[in-house]
A and B are shown apart, each in its own frame.
Chain A
Amino acid sequence: MKRIALLGMPNTGKSTLFNRMTGGAARVGNWPGITVELLSGKILLGDNMVEIIDLPGFYDLHGFSDDEQVVRHFLHDNVPDLALVILNATQIERQMSLLLQLKQLDMNVVVLLNMADEAKKYGITIDSRKMAEMLGMPIFILSGKYGTGYQEAMQAVTRALRYPTPGMAEELRSQLEQDEHIEAEMARVMQHAVQVPAQLPDNLTAKLDRVMLHPWLGLPIFFGIMYLLFQGIFILGQPLQTGVGGALGWLRATALEPAFSVLPPMLNGLLLDGIYNGVATVAAFVPIIVLFFLFMAMVEDSGYLSRAAFLMDALMARMGLDGRGFVMLLMGFGCNVPALMGTRVMRSRTLRLLTMLVIPFSLCSARLQVFVFITAALFAPKTAPLVLFSLYLFSFATAILTALLFRRRFPAEEPFVLELPPYRFPTLRQMALRGWLEVQHFLRRATKFIVAGVVLVWLLTHIPFSAVPAGPDTLAGMIGGALQPMFAPIGINEQLTIALIFGFVAKEIVIGSLAVIYGLSGEALGSALGQQLDWVQAYSFMLFTLIYTPCLSAIATMQNEAKQPGYTALVIGWSLTLAWLISFAFYQGARALGY
């Protein structure tokens, strides 16, 4: 099978084009010689199946960043049959250097000058025929966003694939030393084939930025927009979540329960209460995740995230993070998982690791469910919102503390130099494709872990089978009892300890598991808790729930992104330690004060 590699700088619309070419039918694959996974998709071009690989955006073949190394190693170990080089036509002036570098590698190359629509707006005219003639490469102008020029470009790609790639010299580096030659050739091509207006028109971007990046108004506007975004996600997402949950419950009651009733009770219980309920828990979160990615794709493609990074960088730099890290922390308040995945925009590995270490302290929507339930049960309606607000403050405080403590261990060697793209209006198609790809990714990863996790929890609460499910004689009960010496000093009793073990899989399960353990639900459970616990114990439990270990999907995501078991263990170990210390300080402190 022939192989096409997509090459280009960041923000040239490479991924948009990739999605258009593969129709979203992309999968993640490992390639020889590199440690990261790359998106690839198989499509039919002419009469042949062709594999297209989306390489990370890079500025320079010489570069030292992770992404640049990935591209270099990929090209070295997997010489593609065709390099499809995508340049941003509005920045042709400086992106051509990359093209000339790639030209020296002597590969089959087809060049696409993308964002033709924007270049036109800037008044940039490019004579692609002349340029193709001068460089000896096929060059096409197109708009990946609107699809104009796409058909001709694909025909050229099909034609180019008929010829074998001349191959590539082994000594990439030495060949690439001739920078002076590149400069001269670049000047020649620019002079003859490209016309750039001397002054940019005072366009919409400049006008918008005068407000959005205003020294004093910028930050409040930013927070307002983020607030509206979260509100939008949850207002739209909650009914959908309830709907999916209802549908899955209905499916269980009408189809699965009658069908499985012939099975032995143990197997029946494992299948229905274990696996099916576990998968249903994840599935109910899909609407929120879909919406989250749709909205984030919109914000990301609009160019606003770089602006948020600009506004927040001064504060984040003091914690060893950068402006983009703040954006991810905010995303984490919806769900930690997409926020963890979002750190991919960072090029420095250590910066990514530090940011991922901090994100799980964001009070996600699943933890919010637990807190809403317990504050409603144990605190007066007047104080409940204050209690909730104090937990948000703890969330920020633990994130800041963690960043400060670990900034030296993960020093970001990456300088903060970012391109500021103009504002863009993403198309619906673009948003939908992005959202769909991310959801697939999430589901594939999450289901594996959730199924394993719920099976384990189910077994723990049912072995030995003679005991009352989730009772003190089951394995879970015994573990709860064994852990008492550790949890008693922070005011958490055996039942709550078992619920916390459940919470390791997903924080949504904490309340449900308490319902199983107490054999009560809803308000009855609330009043039972209210009789058994005082507010100091309840608050200590909430603090612990807030800080201790991220849920399984988050851990799975982290392991997938970092690919370092030691790092994943650090995340779990640190969050457990910090949770215990803070709960201990609070509980013993409050008791010492006579509460």
Chain B
Amino acid sequence: MPQSESTAAMFAITLATLHPGDTATIVSIHAEEALHQRLLALGFRGGKRVELIRKAIFSGPIQVRIGTTDILLRRSEAAKITVKKA
């Protein structure tokens, strides 16, 4: 955990800061337990590749793809997922 924290601080890129078309690798997830479990169940894990498909207007949700699954999440939730750009 300390290691991923320092990595997160170094890059400070989260899923919410990506642009449509960007691909990245998940570094760590900093969410409360319930959300963490949900994200894990949907396939969000360290080391997984995610692609940002699109963002809704008016700071609405974002659409990301992990493997064969497309997921909608709010930017506030996406901000809890640290990523490393590919």
Contact = CB atoms under 8 A, between A and B. Distances in A.
B48 to A, nearest CB: 10
A314 B72 CA distance: 12
Interface residues of B, number: 30
Contacts of A63: 34, 37-38, 41
Contacts of B72: 306, 309-310, 313, 416-420
Contacts of B58: 314-315
B8 interface: no
Contacts of B38: 59-60, 63, 65, 415, 417
A311 B56 CA distance: 6
Contacts of B54: 209, 213, 215
Contact of A415 (B57, B68, B69, B77): B77
B6 interface: no
B12 interface: no
Given A200-B68, A311-B56, A313-B56, A416 B42 contact: no
A315 B59 CA distance: 9
Contact of B41 (A97, A310, A317): A97
B56 to A, nearest CB: 6
Nearest to A347: B38
B71 A62 contact: no
A417 B68 contact: no
A215 B61 contact: no
Interface stretch (A44-52, A87-95, A144-152, A502-510): A87-95
Given A65-B34, A420-B63, A216 B73 contact: no
Given A63-B38, A417-B35, A313 B60 contact: yes
Interface in A307-322: 309-311, 313-315, 317
A64 interface: yes
Contacts, number: 107
A317 B58 CA distance: 11
A420 B68 contact: no
Given A91-B68, A122-B68, A415-B77, A314 B42 contact: no
B37 A215 contact: no
Nearest to B38: A417
B44 to A, nearest CB: 9
Interface in A411-470: 413, 415-422
Contacts of B39: 417
Nearest to B58: A314
B86 to A, nearest CB: 14
A419 B60 contact: no
Nearest to B67: A93
Contacts of A416: 61, 72-74, 77
Contacts of B63: 213, 310, 420
Contacts of B61: 310, 313-314, 323, 416
Contact of B69 (A62, A94, A313): A94
Interface in B46-86: 54, 56-61, 63, 65-74, 77
B42 A419 contact: yes
Nearest to A311: B56
A196 interface: yes
Interface string A197-210: 00010000000010
Contacts of A420: 63, 70-72
A310 B60 CA distance: 7
B43 A415 contact: no
A420 B72 CA distance: 6
Given A122-B68, A415-B38, 13 more contacts: A60-B37, A91-B67, A94-B41, A94-B69, A213-B63, A216-B57, A313-B60, A416-B61, A416-B72, A416-B73, A416-B77, A417-B72, A420-B72
18 contacts: A63-B37, A63-B41, A65-B38, A91-B68, A93-B43, A124-B68, A310-B61, A310-B72, A313-B60, A313-B61, A314-B56, A314-B59, A415-B35, A415-B74, A419-B42, A419-B70, A420-B63, A421-B70
Interface of A: 9, 59-60, 62-65, 90-91, 93-94, 97-98, 122, 124, 196, 200, 209, 213, 215-216, 306, 309-311, 313-315, 317, 323, 413, 415-422
